[in-house]
Amino acid sequence: MKKQERRRKWNEAGKDVVVLHIFDRGYTCPSLSPFVIKLETYLRMVDIPYQIDHEEPMGAKGKSPWITLNGEDMADSQLIMEHLGPKYNKDLSSDLTAQEKVVAHSLQIMIDEYFLWCLIVWRYVQERGRPLTNNMYLPMGSHFLISMFVKKVTEATRLQGIGRHSFEEVEGMGRKCLQSLSTWLGQKPFLMGDKPTEVDCSAFGMLAQIMWCSQNSSYLKMLETDFKNLYDYCQRMKERFYPDWDK
């Protein structure tokens, strides 16, 4: 009955209004998931109306975020963006050349599929999930579940391969990703030039985890010292698309 009631509420959001299903907000940033920030940034960037739902953060694929739109569900932030773009006639990369689109796609893969694992190793293996517990509200008794989740993630990093390296080696891999991103950004306001595009959603989603959810991490120190343009880029994205961030 509760599921039916939630479904009724989602369906009543309004025609073409996205219902964004996510976990509770973080203390210092909108979400402890880079993919939630990625997708929410996209919705704000292209001005698609949306509502937030915290009651059912995990979708049918066992992933968060996911959306409900006009009674239909969809999961995976990238697939959602690729679906919403044509539906709402929003193509932020339309002015890019074919070569620039290749670069943007490569950057997105480096961020979402490669650097992600470097951050996972730091957050869940090296720090044993403490950044999660320190930066968002968790119900009483959930620490046991967190420890189980940390164990599961640690096993996943070994299966993926990155968990077989030392922390120093993984940090070196992460530094190369940030260095590549910093070099490409240069003095441009956004990754692909004067206007933000879809790849900026991926970059900001991931970098926000460093900036506001990874206190005392080596990656944060890199942004503050070695890759200052990425630090400034995060502040620029936050000010432009999240005037309500502190709320």
Is the same domain home to 129 and 182? yes
User: What is the tens place of the pLDDT at every residue in 195-211?
Assistant: 999 999 999 999 999 99
Task: Looking at the structure, tell me whether residues 4 and 73 fall in a common domain.
Answer: yes
Question: 247 lies in a domain?
Answer: no
Where among 61, 88, 115 does a domain terminate?
A: 88
Half-sphere CA count of 34, side-chain side, radius 13 A: 26
Q: What is the pTM of this model?
A: 0.95
Q: Is there a single domain that holds both residue 62 and residue 126?
A: no
Higher pLDDT residue, 12 or 175? Answer: 175
pLDDT band at 74 (very low <50, low <70, confident <90, very high): very high
Looking at the fold, whether 196 and 216 belong to one and the same domain comes out as yes
Are 128 and 204 within one domain? yes
pLDDT at residue number 75: 97
DSSP secondary structure string for all residues of 167-227: HHHHHHHHHHHHHHHHHHHTT-SBTTBSS--HHHHHHHHHHHHHHHH-TT-HHHHHHHHT-
SS3 246: coil
- State the chain's mean pLDDT as an integer: 95
Give me 114's structure tokens: 């490669």
Same domain, residue pair 44 and 104: no
Contact yes or no for 23/139 (Cβ under 8 A)? no
In a domain, 246, yes or no: no
Q: How many residues does the chain have?
A: 247
The stretch 152-167 carries a mean pLDDT of 97
**CATH number, domain containing residue 36:** 3.40.30.10
232 and 134 in a single domain? The answer is yes
What pLDDT is recorded for position 3? 86
For 21, 127, 148, the CA distances from 170, given in Å and listed in that order, are: 32, 14, 23
Which of 53, 88, 123 marks a domain boundary? 88
- According to the model, what pLDDT value does residue 217 have? 95
Q: Are residues 77 and 104 in the same domain?
A: no
- Look at residue 218 and tell me if it is in a domain: yes
pLDDT for residue 25: 95
Residue 37's domain comprises 1-88
How many folded domains does the chain comprise? Answer: 2
Do 54 and 141 fall within a single domain?
Answer: no
Rounded CA separation 171/175 (Å):
6
Does 147 reside within a domain? Answer: yes
- Report how far residue 177's alpha carbon sits from residue 220's, in angstroms, rounded to the nearest whole number: 14
**Last residue within a domain, chosen from 64, 88, 112:** 88
* Pair 145, 116 in one domain: yes
The confidence score (pLDDT) of residue 16 equals 96
Q: Report whether 16 contacts 191 (CB < 8 A).
A: no
